[in-house]
């Protein structure tokens, strides 16, 4: 939408300066809407129009902006021209702007903001997003919440602008942890408890066998022996492993349903245990594999990353590692999906791991490594329930629903709902997502229940409230696509929500003439549509009553 008006401004500026209008258009920026006072719609920094030798002091830029503004005139599109800190500012004819935007929203519906000219140069194709990826045979840890909701947002975003998206949940379903669990189940496990509460019981077994392994070397040795049996194809060991895996996926599916998250492929490290042997052989053929004194196989990455960078790809006992299986998985996806890009969403502790992964792929001659990207994020601190420090995600979701139900019961304006628990769950999850998405993903943040569940301010509850009662959107989406930071969209939706509430208090539908009432209803319906579209991109399911 903004491009239509940007082009009109660019044509007039290009005539005055004798520059190509396409070049001018790229230098014109939208100005975010201010909540408390009117602001211009567009600005053009004069320094961005010229080469470096024309760039000087701020004072000189301001003078150049004033000289340019004096030569420009208002017309049927531009209603005001001004200057501000080295830029020329433009305000668009309000009737024209309002009519154009409302007609565009009405025409495009749920696709509004996703098919404008700003996306014309976007390369579309097949995107693989790997996210969530919990370790099976363990309850869904709260530490996986961020990977799940951030990965879901990126997948939604890519899909919304026309990419074919493949959502992969790469389960931690192999390795020494299963050696420990397999060895521990025969000692601490119960088939009865496994059937009654699979993940809780497996978690209890895992805790006990870890404690035993710290005190008893024989327990460690039996865990290593069980892993070798798995890697050697022992039917009993693999049968036990498969049962743990199937039960885990069934339990995880319940959590994903609550979060409205879906996957196209549940893969895992186990799929690549044999292919990881091929990786080691390929690395050996390239001549970059080194064998250490203790018999482990390593790749020297000192020239690629830093002088001390080595990546172990095979243990001394011949078993594979996480990095080896990741290399095998990446190569398999390159061949199977022929993707245009692959995005990994994990916490920032794995930054070094992915640097090594991408370098190894490049060394192996896999050019698609350049299309791989890691989106890291920080940790959530202080997430507690009323019972104390929280460990499992289910407890967080239950707590969010419980607190929201309590808040709704205490609010006099709450409506009688057919399914109050379902509504409370959706609002509670919106609160969790918005609290998480408001800042830089790479930053750690301290979680605060009271702040997250407030009905005023920049919260998920406020977004749901605005939707239930009722910068430019496409450019915000484009900005999110550049660095996968959801905070731009959150800020936009919050600003829109606050402005909508101001309008709701002043632009009454009831008591207005039929013509005015229809116009105002259209206005509020369009706001609701945009809020709903944006919330769904974030992974929030909008509610219609609360």
Asked whether this chain's domains 2-92 and 128-378 adopt the same fold, the reply is no
HSE of 255, CA atoms in CB hemisphere, 13 A: 23
305 versus 442: the higher-pLDDT residue is 442
Is the Cβ–Cβ distance between 142 and 393 less than 8 Å? yes
Known catalytic residue at 498: no
Give the closest residue to 385 by CA, choosing from 373, 401, 370.
Answer: 401
| pLDDT per position as a tens digit, 453-491 | 776 666 677 767 666 554 688 888 988 999 999 999 998
- The CATH fold assigned to 381-538 is Isoleucyl-tRNA Synthetase; Domain 1 (1.10.730)
If pLDDT is split at 50, 70 and 90, which confidence band does 111 have?
A: confident
Please classify residue 315 by burial: count the beta carbons closer than 10 Å to its beta carbon, then call 0-12 exposed, 13-18 middle and 19+ buried.
middle
CB burial readout 176-203, b (16+ within 10 A) else e = ebbbbbbbbbeebbeeeebeeebbebbb
Identify the band that residue 332 occupies on the pLDDT scale cut at 50, 70 and 90.
very high
Are 154 and 165 a contacting pair, CB within 8 Å?
no
**pLDDT for res 517:** 86
CATH of domain 128-378: 3.40.50.620
In this prediction, residue 322 carries a pLDDT of 86
What is the model's pLDDT at position 56?
Answer: 55
Beta bridge partners of 375: 345
Q: What is the pLDDT of residues 72-98, one digit of tens each?
A: 999 999 999 999 989 999 999 988 888
| 3 state DSSP class of 346 | strand
Mean pLDDT across the chain: 86
Of 91, 138, 359, 467, the active-site residue reads 138
Q: DSSP code of 169?
A: E
What is the pLDDT, as a whole number, of residue 160? Answer: 94
pTM of the model: 0.84
Distances (CA, A) of 353 to 344, 395, 422, 483: 11, 30, 40, 20
Mean pLDDT of 35-57: 74
C-alpha 370/C-alpha 358 separation (Å) is 8
**Which is the catalytic residue, given 61, 91, 139, 144?**
144
With pLDDT > 90 as the criterion, what percentage of the chain qualifies?
37
pLDDT of residue 54: 52
**What are 209's two structure tokens?**
């066998």
Q: Is 276 exposed, middle or buried (0-12, 13-18, 19+ CB in 10 A)?
A: buried
Which one is catalytic: 104, 141, 366, 438?
A: 141
Residue 390 has pLDDT above 60, yes or no: no
Q: Is residue 34 over pLDDT 80? A: no
Enter the tokens of residue 241: 């492993």
Cα–Cα distances (Å) from 506 to 11, 499, 500, 502, 509, in that order, read: 37, 11, 10, 7, 9
SS3 for 309?
coil
Evaluate if residue 387 carries a pLDDT over 70: no
What pLDDT does 480 receive? 92
Q: Examine the pLDDT at 53 and tell me if it is beyond 60.
A: no
pLDDT at position 10 is 93
Q: How far apart are CA 492 and CA 504, in angstroms?
A: 18
Q: Is 373's pLDDT higher than 70?
A: yes
**333-372 pLDDT, tens per residue?**
999 999 999 999 999 999 999 999 999 999 899 999 999 9
433 in Cβ contact with 400 (< 8 Å) = no
pLDDT over 70 at 4, yes or no: yes
For the stretch 283-291, contacts whose Cβ atoms lie closer than 8 Å and that sit 24 or more positions apart, written own/partner, are 283/313, 283/360, 283/363, 283/364, 286/363, 286/364, 288/363, 289/313
- pLDDT, residue 351, reads 95
Burial of 277 (0-12, 13-18, 19+ CB in 10 A): middle
Give residue 514's pLDDT: 87
Region of poorest pLDDT, from 48-57, 283-292, 483-492, 497-506: 48-57
Does position 52 have pLDDT exceeding 60, yes or no? no
Q: pLDDT tens digit string along 405-443?
A: 888 887 765 566 778 889 899 988 998 898 889 889 998
Is the model's pLDDT at 282 over the cut of 70?
yes
- pLDDT above 70 covers what percent of the chain? 92
Give the up-direction half-sphere exposure of residue 478: CA atoms within 13 A in the CB hemisphere. Answer: 20
User: Six-digit token pair at 29?
Assistant: 């920026």
CATH number of 2-92: 3.30.1360.70
- 3-state SS, 456-483, equals CCCCHHHHHHHHHHCCCHHHHHHHHHHH
First to last CA, the chain: 33
Domain ranges of the chain: 2-92, 128-378, 381-538
| 182-204 average pLDDT score | 90
What's the confidence (pLDDT) of residue 152?
97
Instruction: Please check the confidence at residue 375 and state whether its pLDDT lies above 70.
Output: yes
Q: What is the mean pLDDT of residues 93-111?
A: 85
């Amino acid at each position: 939408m903004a491009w239509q008006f940007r082009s009109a401004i660019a044509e007039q500026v290009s005539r005055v300066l004798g520059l190509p209008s396409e070049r001018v258009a790229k230098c014109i920026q939208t100005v975010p809407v201010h909540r408390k006072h009117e602001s211009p719609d567009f600005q053009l920094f004069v320094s961005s129009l010229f080469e470096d030798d024309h760039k000087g002091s701020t004072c000189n830029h301001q003078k150049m902006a004033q000289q340019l503004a004096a030569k420009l005139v208002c017309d049927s599109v531009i209603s005001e021209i001004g200057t501000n800190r080295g830029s020329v500012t433009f305000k668009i004819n309000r009737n024209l702007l309002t009519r154009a935007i409302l007609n565009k929203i009405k025409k495009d519906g749920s696709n509004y903001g996703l098919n404008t000219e700003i996306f014309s140069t976007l390369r579309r194709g097949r995107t693989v997003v790997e996210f969530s990826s919990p370790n099976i045979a363990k309850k869904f840890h709260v530490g996986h919440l961020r990977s799940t909701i951030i990965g879901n947002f990126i997948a939604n975003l890519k899909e919304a602008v026309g990419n074919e998206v493949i959502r992969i949940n790469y389960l931690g379903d192999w390795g020494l942890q299963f050696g420990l669990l397999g060895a521990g189940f025969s000692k601490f496990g119960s088939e009865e408890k496994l059937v009654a509460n699979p993940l809780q019981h497996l978690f209890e077994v895992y805790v006990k066998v870890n404690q035993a392994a710290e005190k008893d070397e024989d327990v460690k040795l039996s865990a290593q022996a069980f892993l070798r049996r798995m890697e050697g194809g022992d039917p009993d060991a693999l049968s036990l492993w498969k049962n743990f895996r199937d039960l885990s996926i069934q339990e995880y599916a319940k959590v994903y349903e609550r979060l409205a998250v879906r996957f196209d492929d549940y893969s895992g490290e186990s799929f690549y245990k044999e292919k990881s042997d091929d990786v080691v052989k390929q690395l050996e053929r390239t001549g970059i594999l080194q064998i250490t004194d203790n018999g482990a196989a390593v790749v020297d990455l000192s020239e690629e990353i830093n002088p001390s960078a080595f990546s172990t790809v095979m243990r001394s006992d011949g078993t594979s590692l996480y990095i080896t299986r990741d290399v095998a998985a990446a190569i398999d996806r390159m061949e199977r999906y022929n993707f245009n890009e692959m995005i990994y969403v994990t916490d920032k502790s794995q930054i070094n791991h992915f640097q090594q992964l991408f370098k190894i792929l490049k060394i192996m001659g896999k050019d698609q490594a350049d299309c791989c990207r890691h989106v890291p994020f920080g940790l959530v601190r202080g997430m507690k329930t009323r019972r104390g420090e929280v460990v499992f995600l289910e407890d967080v979701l239950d707590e969010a629903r419980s607190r929201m139900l309590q808040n709704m019961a205490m609010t006099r304006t709450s409506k009688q709902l057919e399914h109050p628990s379902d509504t409370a769950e959706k609002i509670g999850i919106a609160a969790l997502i918005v609290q998480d998405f408001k800042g830089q993903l790479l930053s750690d943040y301290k979680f605060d229940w009271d702040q997250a569940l407030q009905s005023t301010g920049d919260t998920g509850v406020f977004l749901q409230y605005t939707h239930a009662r009722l910068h430019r959107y496409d450019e915000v989406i484009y900005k999110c696509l550049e660095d996968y930071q959801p905070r731009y969209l959150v800020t936009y939706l919050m600003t829109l929500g606050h402005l909508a509430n101001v309008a709701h208090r002043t632009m009454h539908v009831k008591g207005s003439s039929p013509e005015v009432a229809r116009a105002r209803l259209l206005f509020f319906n369009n706001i609701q549509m945009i809020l709903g579209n944006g919330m769904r991109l974030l992974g929030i399911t909008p509610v219609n009553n609360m």
